Amino acid sequence: MPVVQLVWFRSDLRVYDNAALTEAMAQGPTIALFVAFRQSWYQHDMAPVKQDLIRRRVQALQQELAGLNVPLLLVEGNSYQDVQSVFEQLLPLGIARVYTEVEYELRERRRDQVLKDWLAVRGVAWWQCDRQCVFVPGSFVNGSGAMYQVYTPFKKRWLQRFAEQGVQVLAKPKPQAPVVLDLPLVTPMQGGNNSSADWPVQQDDVMQQLRHFCQQQVQDYQKLRDLPALDATSRLSPYLAIGAISVRQCIARLQVEAGADLQQANSGASVWLSELIWRDFYKHVLVAWPDLIKHQPFQTDTAAIRWHNDETLFQAWCDGTTGYPLVDAAMRQLNQTGWMHNRLRMVVASFLVKDLHIDWRWGERYFMSRLIDGDFAANNGGWQWAASTGTDAAPYFRIFNPVTQSERFDPDGIFIRNWVPELARLPNQHIHWPHKLPMSKEYPGAVVDHAKARQVTLELFRHARQQGEKSDEST
């Protein structure tokens, strides 16, 4: 029986800078696999729009791999528990070794461990690389030998290592001789609703988006990145989340285009690099504290907060009918497109937790179920930051005023008018707080009074802290 190498694509849906693919093809004739584990995706609240992006990207990947004479087998799995039965079907192909890139989440790690052991018994080897981050999680420790809990020293260490080692991007492998398979598994992936159609999925288009951002937009990133009405950020997160592009490719392109600007503190290029370092930071945090996957607060005393969890208020937040125009515009954009600007993610997260007093985990879950770029580490990190429960989180008394945020970051109401048509005809001076005008009748009234809600939040946190202190004293 001929022997083949098998690359199992998961969150690394690309042919460039793909160590698993490169290594497999260096070892001999290679085939590739993608499994759609629908039930597990559903259990992880993966948004339909993200599933659709994956489906479209996998189809494009299939063509790109065909150009390398690597057939991509597409299998409709169900849950991770079926993983052995998927591989059972493939063993007759004569697989010598399975190549993968690590996934950091707990269930994925367990799935891989079970499969690795199962394959070993059947004489199939397992090869895994750890390249989701620029530097491998666990390789950075502070003076006490532990992972950093604060971003700034982590970033300093990261930059030091970057200056010493740089980043290495792997080229696309050269085509191999055609591989003939006995199993008719080269099928198109099923399902899909085309809801992600606004996001191109061809490798060249994604690379062009990166190039365009680094050539034309990054200079102004520092100045404009907080304005949601503008297209001033890279919008690469959906691709980074599914691995259609790697973080190393982003940094390498930035180095080429920004040159010396990258060394200037506060240049657009260096601020953008800092955002990519935030991405690494949250992944390192997840690996160091795997219990985060169980949605535990990082700061344990905040577990005692008695969230009000009013379902009617939660529904108003989800639907974008809170009566706070910027919050509502952001939520409606999320519901309709699967996308939300970073500034708005912070505003709506703060509003849910500190104005509506709803458990941050409700928002975290809702985001995952809607975001095209849903990524556990970044989403959990962002929510715990906003809720003041996480590593390097906002202090609990830092409470965004949703109206002031609106005046600062959408001063002319362009973003609001785009997503809240009831307010489209309002003059600028009323767009952020329309409730004084009779013409705003079609628009919902404010569900809470921000000033009062703020006081309640301070009280909730103080109470939880006192509880923590009491239990410390009694131990």
Ligand X SMILES: Cc1cc2nc3c(=O)[nH]c(=O)nc-3n(C[C@H](O)[C@H](O)[C@H](O)COP(=O)(O)OP(=O)(O)OC[C@H]3O[C@@H](n4cnc5c(N)ncnc54)[C@H](O)[C@@H]3O)c2cc1C
The least CB distance from residue 56 to ligand X, in Å, is: 18
**Separation between Cα atoms, residue 372 and residue 237, nearest integer Å:** 9
Residue closer to ligand X (CB basis): 237 or 406: 237
Q: Is 172 exposed, middle or buried (0-12, 13-18, 19+ CB in 10 A)?
A: middle
Which ranges of 103-150 does DSSP label H, i.e. alpha helix?
Answer: 106-121
Please provide the DSSP assignment of 230-252 as one string.
S--S---HHHHHHTSS-HHHHHH
236 annotated ligand-binding residue:
yes
Q: Is there a binding annotation on residue 321?
A: no
SS3 181: coil
Closest CB to ligand X among 361 and 432?
A: 361
465 is in an annotated binding site: no
Label residue 291 exposed, middle or buried (CB < 10 Å: 0-12, 13-18, 19+). exposed
Find the shortest distance in angstroms from Cβ 60 to ligand X: 19
Quote the least distance from Cβ 236 to ligand X, whole Å: 5
Whose CB is nearest to ligand X?
Answer: 382
Q: Which is nearer to ligand X, 113 or 264 (CB)?
A: 264
Angle at Cα 209 formed by Cα 259 and Cα 334, nearest 5°?
120
Contact positions vs ligand X (CB under 6 A)? 225, 233-237, 240-241, 275-276, 278-279, 282, 342, 345-346, 349, 367, 371, 373-375, 378-379, 381-383, 386
Q: Is 374 annotated as a binding residue?
A: yes
Catalytic residues: 275, 278, 307, 342, 360, 383
* Structural contact between residues 210 and 250, judged by C-beta atoms closer than 8 angstroms: yes
126 SS3 class: strand
Find the shortest distance in angstroms from Cβ 253 to ligand X.
Answer: 12
3-state secondary structure of 269: helix
Nearest CB to ligand X, comparing residues 7 and 340:
340
CB 323 within 8 A of CB 312: no
* Helix/strand/coil for 33: strand
How far from 155 is each of 54, 255, 323, 471, CA to CA, in Å? 31, 17, 39, 35
233 among the known binding-site residues? yes
Whose Cβ is closer to ligand X: residue 173's or residue 374's?
Answer: 374
Of 11, 55, 32, 60, give the one whose Cα is nearest residue 246. Answer: 11
Q: Please report how close the Cβ of residue 237 comes to ligand X at its closest, in angstroms.
A: 3
Is 235 assigned to a binding site?
A: yes
Residue 442 assigned as binding residue? no
Binding residues for FAD: 221, 233-237, 272, 275-282, 373-375
Known binding residues: 221, 233-237, 272, 275-282, 373-375
